[in-house]
Amino acid sequence: MSSTPVIGVLALQGDVREHLAALDTAGAAARAVRRPEELDAVDGLVLPGGESTTISKLAVLFGLLEPLRARVRSGLPVYGTCAGMIMLADKILDPRSGQETVGGIDMIVRRNAFGRQNESFEAAVEVRDVPGGPVEGVFIRAPWVESVGAAAEVLAEHEGHIVAVRQGTALATSFHPELTGDHRLHALFAGMVRQAGR
């Protein structure tokens, strides 16, 4: 892999454009991913925020869910924000009917844990492995992590709830760093992708 990793953004629903811009700023070659052959061409993948049930159903419809699971199991670096965090959970506490996940992080996630759309908020979040002080977290109908298994590492908490987790080549935040102009989490992920490609 060159020093510029190719990082895809799952472009089925959600804030795809903002992640593509953030990845560009973080030194990656960013690509939208909608089809299995586009997934095959990336070194890492972002699962964006949006509506986790919709993303799950669209992933099935586009023939992406099984290829995604297989690539994540085989070590594809992946970063999920908000709904993307839910998609990376091995277990959802309160799944909607028919909702499936990609899995990859040994954690149990509670959907919409921080409240409804009108209860969205921003908060400074101290994230381990991200130098330079707290990141500004945008929480929109955000999940939180109820518990993690032994393999998962907690990177951040807010008001006593886990909001950022890492396990091997998988990273997840319950907030949206792509909406703030602070791209340090995308830079952390780009570094993880480079590391995995060595």
Question: Can you say whether the dihedral through the CA atoms of 34, 38, 39, 42 is positive or negative?
Answer: negative
Query: How far from chain centre, in Å, is Cα 191?
Result: 15
The yes-or-no answer on residue 157 being catalytic is no
* Among 18, 19, 158, 176, the one annotated catalytic: 176
Set 18, 19, 82, 158: catalytic member: 82
CA–CA distance, 75 with 104 (Å, rounded to integer): 9
Annotated catalytic, 178?
Answer: yes
H/E stretch holding 65 reads: helix 65-73
- Count of residues in the chain: 198
How far apart, in whole angstroms, are the C-alpha atoms of residue 61 and residue 152? 30
Closest by CA to 5, choosing from 48, 35, 44, 39, is: 44
What does residue 95 show for φ and ψ, rounded to 5 degrees?
-65, 150
Q: Is 38 a catalytic residue?
A: no
Ramachandran region, residue 194 (left: φ > 0; alpha: ψ -120 to 50; beta: rest): alpha
Q: Which of 18, 19, 178, 186 is catalytic?
A: 178
State the catalytic residues: 82, 176, 178
